[in-house]
Chains A and B, each alone.
Chain A
Amino acid sequence: MTSVAHDHPHPKMSHADVTRDVVRTLETPSRGYYLALFSAVGMFLVGVATFVMLLKDGLGLAGYAPPVFWSVYITTFVFWVGIGHAGTLISAILFLFRSPWRTAVYRSTEAMTVFAVMTAGLFPIIHIGRQWIFYWLLPYPNQRFLWPNFKSPLIWDVFAISTYLTVSTTFLCVGLIPDIAAVRDKVTGWRRKLYGALSLGWTGADSQWRNYTRGYLYLAALATPLVLSVHSVVSWDFAMSIVPGWHGTIFAPYFVAGAIYSGIGMVLTLVIPLRKVLKIEHMITEYHFDNLAKLTLLTGSILFYAYAMEYFVAWYSSNIFEQTTFWRRAFGPQWWAGWSMIICNAFVSQLLWFKKIRTNLTALFIISIFINVGMWFERYVIIASSLSNDFLPYAWGQLNPTWADWGILIGSFGWFGMYFLLFARTFPVVAIQEIKEMIPMPRRKGGAH
């Protein structure tokens, strides 16, 4: 930690400034905030209404068109799981690697992670045909001695997602303790009680700090493999099957890179407006965005390579099923989806070679939207387009999504946005204590590690 002091980004702030500025973000919100919150809740209610209809009439309301048995819901599921990856990467892996630039953004990305995984976690329930018995997917003791099938990648998924949700939630909550304590000391009324409870009696004593930093480190170490494993497991939902376009050994790294790419895309989408709204531009600066953009460029380039390899392997394998799938991905009835994915992810990310673009927040914001759209389409293409043309041409079919697909998609954004907005007004979105650590004086000994 000490080695990075020479390029730390907050030279002109005192500890008191940091606390004050961050606590200010929790004060009475603006009308814009309420507008955003209400629209998020509105979108969420659209999703709820759609889900009620699905429960009432059946999944037939969505556009499923066999052989496309999975479509928008699983697409959106993978999309949200992917979003959830940036958070842990930034907070845990970069923490272990001592990257200084993570400090300003990690809290918001971690919150994003938890909410994204919470969102994703709804989809396996929404998408199954008999939602009311979703718990059959869980291994619970029952008098029939029926267990889930541990060979099924869907069961691996259940474990991966629930583990990830548990660990990332714990990580977020633990990371919040000192900050909540700092806020607790600045506020009054019910908030003081709430924060008092959540800060778990934090006093800032040296012994507490020693245990805390140890604990945080261990949690970071625990969370780190999950960044790689969760999306690998999700990718095996596809890779373990025999569907042409799914059945690829490249899938795990390809999905992990895609997940981080999409996660950072979402971070950019959220943080660029957020820092403005919360007036913390001086804490989250160009420096941070430049680094985020570099990570985007790296993962985007991995995706570029993965896309190219998928096509190459399809051609090189001489496997007519693979070849047809990839041919149709680019030139079939859903060519627009295939090209959306390639352009938004592989090509647009290449713009980030230029520092001018990396440090231009407007450009970054626009690119981040492309990334979000592109990554959603990537999953759509992998899922819906691969399924639509597999082995027997007679059984081919084209997906045509309906309002029920879009209703749930909108609802998922509402659900996610609602939590994120509530979080941003309730908890410090910038990690007070870590920023304070970056500030040279008065400097706490960093020798704990």
Chain B
Amino acid sequence: MSDHTTRDPIDRRRFLTVMGVSSAGAAALGGCSTGKVEKLIPYLVQDPDQVPGLPTTYASTCTECPAGCGLHVVTREARAIKLEGNPEHPINAGSICARGQAGLQGLYNPGRLKFPMARHGSGHREILWNEAIDRLAAELRTAGNRVAVISGAGPGTFDTLLESWVTALGGRLVRYQALDHEPLRLASRSVFGQDEIPVHDFAAAQFVLSFGADFLETWHTPIENQRGFAAARGFERGTVAKSVYVGPRANLTGINADQWLAPTPGSEVSLALGMANALLARGRAPVDAGALSVVLAPYTVAKVAEDTGLSAEAITKLIDEFAAAAPSLAVAGGIGAQHRGAIDLCAAVHVLNYVAGNVGTTVKFGAGVKGGDGYGALAALERSMAAGEIDVLLVHEANPLFTVPRAGGFKAAWDRVRFKASTSLFFDETAAGSDLLIPNLHPLERWDDAGGGRNHLAGLIQPVMEPVYRNVATGDVLLQVARKLGGLLAQQFAVPSYQVHLQNRWAELARARGADPAAFWREALQRGGVFGPAPAATVRLAGNITIGGPTQIDGDGEVVFAPYPSSMYYDGRGANRPWLLENPDPVTKMTWQSWVEVNPETAKRWDVRDGEIVRLTSTTGSIEAPIFIYGGIRPDVVAMPLGLGHSEYGEYAKGRGANALDLLSAQDGQGFLPYLSTKVRVEKTGGFKKLARTDGNPRELGRGITESIPASLAARGLTLKQAYEELGKGHHEINTERELEAITGFREAQVEARKFGDYAAEHPMWGMVIDLSRCTGCSACVTACYAENNIPFVGEADVLRGREMSWMRIERYFEGGEDGEPFKASIIPMLCQHCDNAPCEPVCPVYAAYHTTDGLNGQVYNRCVGTRYCANNCPYKVRYYNWYAYAKLAFPEPLNLQLNPEVTVRARGVMEKCTFCIQRIRGAQHRARLEDRPLRDGDVTTACAQACPSGAIAFGNMNDPAAKVVQAAQNPRGYHVLEEINVRPAVTYLARVVPGAEA
């Protein structure tokens, strides 16, 4: 799928191209429009789709988490340079999260295994691929049926091939994803008799209530959730859905909610049941819900208050508001709140949704999302391994030696297996413990399919470039091994390659739909897959529902330990990607380190400060990490992100931070791993570590940077100023009358004054609108900006000096959280505001900072001598300086291959900043000119706006009255940050709308 047109008349180059292709015949690469891709070939014979200097885009599917978002892989000169969302894909609709984009740093990771390896003494040595396959086949031959496979691959062709392969060998397959949603699926089974994880429609919900589900971070399909959440909260309908988060710690979902409730850990189930009970009493429930009254009756408001420690008023208010909203949506099952009673909690939330009439409207069954076999299945396999029943173990797309708590017996069981093989692309913990390393190809280098586990979605994965290293796709390894083993197995897996196998499967799919297989395949390849309408299954309550009450947390410690999944590192796989290590955690704004979150009150009691290293000890282990004082956590809880503390996994991850799993017992909680299950003791070590946090000061200090407006006032179309007057609150003073008088006409005069030369003509004027009602702070835009603009990471030491280069940063401000004040947080993306009256421009002694004719603050890197005066004078502090040759340090081979050739790689000693993706603007202008048409609204979008899952960013020409951005900027909620200093920014923010009548 090429995004350039080929209508140009034939010129010399094109003539040669056509001649070359004709003579080269079918050997040429046909982009994604031909199935005959065997090799990507150099430009010796140029393909008509591959024009040097123009990007070629391939559709694919993201495998960075099980959600299965659609990708558009932008390639230049046959290398992938950026991952973007596939606009046609129903899950992500064109956007993509930070983790997804960082898939590129998996592809080009310097820690990738370059060849297969075999254990040699205490280490591993390089072997040839045919040796590796012989070795695996030989081991399998002797092992007979004492074979097991642990696979993290989601449902799809590979999974079915793997299953039949393992079955043919007589072995066992365990599908294991560390952050699976087992309790949710088990609860569906017990409440509705439906063995699946439901799909949620956040957009339709008028009230979103989360019981510990971090639906903006890792829960289920974060991008889809976020898009829906933004729609529910974006005030397009003139109303805004209230959101409440219930959990021991306010995560990103929690700080985006209007209210955070922190009941006693383990008691959330009581609140959910109490709400269901109250709703049932109000008679809103479907008729068959009456059977629940036995289960629900004990959960009166008084009992709920006693169980949870919440006030009866708060509970009643929550019930009233939830009951008043239709439809509403309650979700549960987040990893960070997964205690031993997680199934009960998920069941209670299912019941609550059912009673509220949400099942079938905002909670939908029928997509068939299963997740893996769960931790229970892994634990069963572990027992077999420990019993010596497994001789050969193959681990695929999983890292159990990291994601299974060390306290259990997994490692011991692992060691009892005679021969272990790993298909990991990286030398991770599991690979380090394996006897044979047969690195898979990266999903951007191979064929596959993935649909996020939904029956109606099938996304294709296609190679977009020659492999960075000449490894073999695991699908092909399975087939080759089967052939080596001979006999029936060879017959069963006679297909020549995995690609052919995949195409055969898709041909079946086509025939099932009555389509021509070749055309079906071609279209699917172009569009990224086949996306059918979501099936709907009607579910009814199962009989004999029993739901347990509140759960106790084990251990003898003083505080409850709450490890939670990091929105950057996920289950730990993100820890080797500098983009994710340096993209600050959306809540704490921490980078590169592990930390322990402690409530300010508790910190005061313990007399600990930020950065003080403490030792946490549970019954199973002990770890050390620095303190991060955080108002959004219960005083009797400490929290820690998962995903760091690797003992292997490449230079970026190895030895970085501490692994929170070390404090957990590996004990299976009825089929899942209970993360929130232990208490810990905390003691000071006397050590100190400066926190690599990017927030200089976490408080807004009454500067009116992030604004909000009550929904009732916003609905009347009031501006912020009017709203403040209405509320009788003093708005922070923008400008006094006299100041306004002094600056009247100033800008106009400035604009007039510069109208000469090139500036006199009609030009576009680029502007941006950011809707704070939609922005969740997920930070996808940050990584998008890094990827698009070749922004180097600077590493922990320089982050400690505040030298991170994040052109787009998400500022997060806390309010309250101390001295009995309720805890709140607000979020605002901050990037160069491209001020009309820019303070950075006049101070540059060499005109490196200047105003372009189309209203941008240009920055001429080559002219910059590095006085840094512009950065001093920038009130938004959005100019970033190359203190070292960061670009050299940040792009070691082969990471340099990801660099966007459209954007200058900045040298040491120069200032850089957001350009509003000027390369995209100029590219679009050039294309428009080639097509002899004016530039249209929507021709240009910035990388941040494109990636944003919430659709919070609008970009366009402010001089085009029809442009969406102009309409958005006229919204009465619009305001400029630091308006009082009269710099006339080109970025308008829309105040966040909060439900109710109070700001």
Contact = CB atoms under 8 A, between A and B. Distances in A.
A273 interface: no
B830 to A, nearest CB: 7
Nearest to A324: B701
B846 A148 contact: yes
Contacts of B873: 241-243
Given A58-B882, A149-B842, A241-B873, A70 B981 contact: no
Nearest to B907: A130
A405 interface: no
Given A69-B871, A70-B872, A136-B865, A58 B909 contact: yes
A392 B846 contact: no
A153 interface: yes
B654 interface: no
B803 interface: yes
Given A129-B882, A391-B978, A392-B705, A69 B865 contact: no
Given A129-B882, A390-B875, A320 B701 contact: yes
Contact of B865 (A130, A387, A392): A130
B845 A242 contact: no
A206 interface: no
B740 to A, nearest CB: 15
B43 interface: no
Interface residues of A, number: 50
B843 A240 contact: yes
A393 B700 contact: yes
B803 A154 contact: no
B702 interface: yes
A394 B812 contact: yes
A391 B981 contact: yes
B580 interface: no
B839 A69 contact: no
Contact of B845 (A154, A397, A400): A154
B587 to A, nearest CB: 14
A157 B593 CA distance: 43
Contact of B871 (A66, A321, A393): A66
A395 B732 contact: no
A334 B911 CA distance: 27
B696 A393 contact: yes
A397 B977 CA distance: 20
A6 interface: no
B696 A397 contact: yes
A64 interface: yes
Nearest to A135: B865
Contacts, number: 173
Q: For chain B, what secondary structure do more than half of its interface residues adopt (helix, strand, loop), or is it mixed?
A: loop
Interface residues of B, number: 56
A155 B845 contact: yes
A237 B802 CA distance: 24
Nearest to A149: B847
Interface centre among A148, A155, A392, by most chain B C-beta atoms within 10 angstroms, is A392
Given A149-B844, A241-B872, A69 B881 contact: yes
A394 B813 contact: yes
A58 B885 contact: yes
A70 B732 CA distance: 30
A293 B875 CA distance: 42
Nearest to A241: B873
Contacts of A128: 865-867, 909
Interface in A356-393: 387, 389-393
Contacts of B809: 394
Contact of A396 (B697, B842, B883): B697
B844 A152 contact: yes
A74 B59 CA distance: 52
Interface string B701-718: 111010000000000000
A146 interface: yes
Interface in A275-318: 318
Contacts of A151: 842-843
Contacts of A63: 801
B875 A391 contact: yes
- A64, A129, A133, A390: most-surrounded residue (chain B CB, <10 A): A129
Contacts of A390: 875, 877
Contacts of A324: 701
A414 B863 CA distance: 33
Interface string A385-426: 001011111111100100000000000000000000000000
A394 B811 contact: yes
A224 to B, nearest CB: 28
Contacts of A154: 843, 845, 867, 869
A400 B801 contact: yes
B811 A129 contact: no
B908 interface: yes
Contacts of B847: 146, 148-149
Contact of A129 (B695, B802, B875, B881): B881
A26 interface: no
Interface string A336-353: 000000000000000000
A242 B885 contact: no
A129 B876 contact: no
Contacts of B733: 318
A241 B843 contact: yes
Interface in A96-147: 124, 127-131, 133-134, 136-137, 146
B803 A65 contact: yes
B884 interface: yes
Given A324-B701, A391-B978, A393-B696, A66 B845 contact: no
B909 A59 contact: yes
B865 A393 contact: no
B114 interface: no
Interface string A203-241: 000000000000000000000000000000000010011
A272 B527 CA distance: 85
A246 to B, nearest CB: 8
Nearest to A131: B909
Given A154-B869, A390-B877, A396-B696, A67 B802 contact: yes
**Max chain A C-beta neighbours (<10 A), residue from B694, B812, B844:** B844
Task: Name the residue among A64, A130, A395 with the largest chain B CB count within 10 angstroms.
Answer: A395
B803 to A, nearest CB: 6
A201 interface: no
A141 to B, nearest CB: 15
A272 to B, nearest CB: 38
Given A153-B843, A394-B812, A400-B801, A137 B871 contact: no
**Residue of A133, A321, A393 with highest tally of chain B CB at under 10 A:** A393
B889 to A, nearest CB: 10
Contacts of A69: 868-869, 871-872, 881
A131 B910 CA distance: 11
A167 interface: no
A199 B797 CA distance: 57
Contacts of A29: none
A366 B812 CA distance: 49
Nearest to B983: A242
Interface string A11-35: 0000000000000000000000000
A158 interface: yes
A357 B612 CA distance: 48
A318 B847 CA distance: 35
Task: List 9 A-B pairs, minimum CB-CB distance, nearest first.
Answer: A129-B866, A129-B909, A396-B696, A60-B883, A395-B877, A393-B697, A397-B802, A69-B868, A394-B811
Given A137-B845, A389-B697, A394-B813, 12 more contacts: A58-B885, A66-B803, A67-B871, A127-B867, A146-B846, A152-B843, A241-B869, A391-B876, A391-B981, A395-B830, A395-B876, A400-B801
18 contacts: A60-B883, A63-B801, A64-B881, A66-B877, A67-B871, A128-B867, A130-B910, A149-B845, A152-B869, A240-B843, A241-B869, A241-B873, A391-B703, A391-B875, A392-B705, A393-B703, A394-B696, A394-B813
Interface of A: 57-60, 63-67, 69-70, 124, 127-131, 133-134, 136-137, 146, 148-149, 151-155, 158, 237, 240-243, 318, 320-321, 324, 387, 389-397, 400
